[in-house]
Structure 1
């Protein structure tokens, strides 16, 4: 077995159980967003690498499907244990490559471990649940229902939560009996390579999991690889639309986890301190680089003034900087995204919006830093209100009733997540019921458990990840019908 550095990777393609150098003409740089300086680079994969990895996945599929769900569960536990053994290295790598504070990087690692452990438990019982019997025609026939793996799956993940989004796809795919090709983000290409190291370490059969690093060429090739039978994508709506269009040519199943412009509703009877905790966590965690970021605050005007005063004070107190210096909020992960957020700050200034915190880009060692930012009383026609910024920027508005709060919250093309903070749980539940969103939190920051459901309505995507729903995304239903046996 080869022991690999988490950073120096001249062989960054894991295909057919072997590490190889990418065949692409360019190289992928790993950049520290706290300094703007590259700390590693590696060869990029190309379309040929993707096709080869997909062929390996196809060759491995019959054996993996037949391996038995209990055996697959054992390998998934091996992934959980392998991640846990690499905790220190992977936390430090995410701090450096993504700019995540240490606590947030640790949460990501724990999330990935929990995801593999959960799907290992779910996999254990899959074989025993096969051939569920259904009576038909008053007993003239009976049916047997089987859940079969779809086949080799293409998994495309983004840069904001590398270990997490990949775990959310790899674990249920392998649990279901699918083999997989994972394409990492070209912006953060290193952390997921640990999954290849672990696969080698635990003796995962060659071709069951394949990993390709690469940019747009590799991503396009994933959608066109003839050996792949399912595509799961997490990322922007623009790229998601391109993925869906490409996959539509072959009418393959596709899962899309896309953007959001999620609302947080705070009622007049809410506890101010609890509301501040939920609002700040929902927009400043991971520097706002979350599809679920609750970036629109809808507050009852009866408590608007004291809430915004407390919230602005909390935002100004957040220590922004290099995570290795103990910062509470790190930089924007990519330079392109940093420039995009700067453009929104400029648009807010041009609109004359009331900025009560932040609105600036602190100049610190060349890093991609944005101060925690809050705009009060944002017009609902403003770009700041309607568009996904993907940064630590909160837009606020006030309302006079719960009905108005719901109308404002639901007036969005997105429907991924939402939060309600209220002193009355029944009232909060009614608001949660009324929100057009796939995940709603009541009186809590954004906790996500592996046995919950993740996904949205409207333009926030297709399908669900996590829980049994995430597993079913890699399964097809087979119904066997027979005359009754006398």
Structure 2
């Protein structure tokens, strides 16, 4: 039987107007950089230069922090919660109105499939602003004391894997609690953050409440170390998170970190195999594996190993890799040549250490940064691909015999961000969830997010929680 062929269904780029160059967003206006330099943002799928953006220098960051401080002291912290809520509701509605534009821009700049930007990222962005708008006038009922106060100026540094969603995770609770923000988006994906700055203008947000400084790691370092910042929030690699923790240590600054992961996706012999396979695919190939909580270690009970692996390979053979703007695409482009080089290097190490590598036949585009969906079998806990975060579409498969062994192998990692459990037994799910050292444990699903549900990790996956009532605590003086 011939494979079903999909006709291309490309999303139009015409809805997005990308300017040739962008300045910084400070005090409610786009301004030129004082001491920075221009950098280019590139489409990972085509390698075309999308725009030139300013890389903020030390003076630029200082301007932004001062603007945030003025707005905090004179305007934002003085507003009643119900008035702050109106702005957050307005921002959420504008995001919904401009959802298609934002989805296309995110896909162009990041390389993720338009289906994911359209159906996951942007709806969740709006949902977070709606959710925290609802909290803005109810903070005294959040369980953090009768009169919780904002901290002041929040310096926020976000990654490139979910650019606008990570912005929402950071900005929405900060504003709801009465803080002002200086945000630094990732160097490779600044465009939706700059579009969000336009949304702030459209919503008539008071000047200085949200400031956006683009740039690379140096810009982030200026922001984290600025004495006018009261709270630092960072999502990104564990290595950078450790450097930030050292820089903040000994200061009065509050800190939350959401760092790397090496999640175990655990399949028991009584699991519904087809359902589990869909969860495995979603767990590791969603967003090209550029997910800190990706299920990059698959633990399968020995008795069903062959069945699960055969079903997984059949499913992987149907995945479509290619143009992220095509609505049929399952796996888009790797975000940058640097990340692609890291994925390739670790995959080669996996082969060199004796693991067996398999990818379905797939034709990769000539231009852009691409890596096929890949599964490694014959993996032991000593393999680097089972211990290190690859942050790409690469799955390592291990086996276990008993629930106790599954827990031991799942917890045998310096990370503790997430895990998945696939079984028909509710009692086993609860037992596993209690034993697994992970901040989030999904049962018979994976990568399921909700603004009302807290997210965060243990060990080298960071500390603090984002989302839900718990996400307010990081931005309140309690």
TM category (shorter chain) comes to over 0.9
Q: Partners in 2 of 1:430 and 1:130 — Cα distance?
A: 28
| Deviation, structure 1 residue 349 | 2.1
Q: Partners in 2 of 1:32 and 1:10 — Cα distance?
A: 15
The residue aligned with 1:46 is 57
The residue aligned with 1:342 is 344
Deviates more, 1:328-337 or 1:242-251: 242-251
Deviation by residue 1:145-164 (Cα, 9 ceiling, x = unmatched)? 42110111101000000010
Q: Partners in 1 of 2:179 and 2:35 — Cα distance?
A: 27
**Are the aligned partners of 1:151 and 1:230 in contact in 2 as well (CA < 8 Å)?**
yes
Q: Partners in 2 of 1:130 and 1:420 — Cα distance?
A: 31
Matches within 5 A, 1:367-386: 367-386=368-387
**Are the aligned partners of 1:384 and 1:395 in contact in 2 as well (CA < 8 Å)?**
yes
The residue aligned with 1:118 is 131
The residue aligned with 2:334 is 332
| Deviation, structure 1 residue 127 | 5.9
The residue aligned with 1:474 is 475
Q: Partners in 2 of 1:230 and 1:178 — Cα distance?
A: 9
1:331 aligns to what SS in structure 2? coil
Q: Partners in 1 of 2:35 and 2:307 — Cα distance?
A: 56
**Are the aligned partners of 2:158 and 2:184 in contact in 1 as well (CA < 8 Å)?**
yes
Deviates more, 1:256-265 or 1:371-380: 371-380
The residue aligned with 1:20 is 31
| Deviation, structure 1 residue 53 | 0.4
The residue aligned with 1:481 is none
**Are the aligned partners of 2:144 and 2:473 in contact in 1 as well (CA < 8 Å)?**
no
2:325 aligns to what SS in structure 1? helix
Q: Partners in 1 of 2:102 and 2:185 — Cα distance?
A: 15
**Are the aligned partners of 2:379 and 2:397 in contact in 1 as well (CA < 8 Å)?**
yes
| Deviation, structure 1 residue 213 | 0.7
Matches within 5 A, 1:165-180: 165-180=166-181
Matches within 5 A, 1:313-324: 313-324=314-325
**Are the aligned partners of 2:23 and 2:31 in contact in 1 as well (CA < 8 Å)?**
yes
1:29 corresponds, among 19, 40, 62, to 40
Matched, 1:396 2:397: yes
**Are the aligned partners of 1:264 and 1:296 in contact in 2 as well (CA < 8 Å)?**
yes
2:101 aligns to what SS in structure 1? helix
The residue aligned with 2:201 is 200
Deviation by residue 1:85-123 (Cα, 9 ceiling, x = unmatched)? 211111111111111111100110001000000000111
**Are the aligned partners of 1:451 and 1:466 in contact in 2 as well (CA < 8 Å)?**
yes
Deviates more, 1:224-233 or 1:344-353: 344-353
| Deviation, structure 1 residue 343 | 0.5
Relative to the length of structure 1, the TM-score reads 0.92
| Deviation, structure 1 residue 435 | 0.8
| Deviation, structure 1 residue 43 | 2.2
Deviation by residue 1:355-378 (Cα, 9 ceiling, x = unmatched)? 2335x9954122211111111120
**Are the aligned partners of 1:31 and 1:38 in contact in 2 as well (CA < 8 Å)?**
yes
Q: Partners in 2 of 1:6 and 1:176 — Cα distance?
A: 33
2:97 corresponds, among 69, 78, 85, to 85
Q: Partners in 2 of 1:368 and 1:440 — Cα distance?
A: 32
**Are the aligned partners of 2:456 and 2:466 in contact in 1 as well (CA < 8 Å)?**
yes
Deviates more, 1:191-200 or 1:8-17: 8-17
Q: Partners in 2 of 1:125 and 1:190 — Cα distance?
A: 33
Deviation by residue 1:228-283 (Cα, 9 ceiling, x = unmatched)? 10000000011111111112242411110000000011111111101101111000
| Deviation, structure 1 residue 305 | 0.3
The residue aligned with 1:353 is 355
C-alpha RMSD of matched pairs (Å): 1.8
What stretches of structure 2 of length at least 5 have no aligned partner?
Answer: 1-14
| Deviation, structure 1 residue 6 | 5.1
**Are the aligned partners of 1:28 and 1:189 in contact in 2 as well (CA < 8 Å)?**
no
The residue aligned with 1:76 is 88
Q: Partners in 1 of 2:347 and 2:16 — Cα distance?
A: 39
**Are the aligned partners of 1:283 and 1:393 in contact in 2 as well (CA < 8 Å)?**
yes
**Are the aligned partners of 1:180 and 1:209 in contact in 2 as well (CA < 8 Å)?**
yes
Deviates more, 1:348-357 or 1:195-204: 348-357
2:447 aligns to what SS in structure 1? coil
The residue aligned with 1:245 is 246
Please identify the structure whose Cα radius of gyration is greater.
Answer: 1
Q: Partners in 2 of 1:204 and 1:428 — Cα distance?
A: 45
| Deviation, structure 1 residue 390 | 0.0
The residue aligned with 1:303 is 304
Deviates more, 1:283-292 or 1:98-107: 98-107
Matches within 5 A, 1:66-465: 66-106=78-118, 107-126=120-139, 145-325=146-326, 326-358=328-360, 363-465=364-466
What stretches of structure 1 of length at least 5 have no aligned partner?
Answer: 133-144, 478-486
Deviation by residue 1:191-220 (Cα, 9 ceiling, x = unmatched)? 111221111111111111111111122111
1:467 aligns to what SS in structure 2? coil
**Are the aligned partners of 1:22 and 1:213 in contact in 2 as well (CA < 8 Å)?**
no
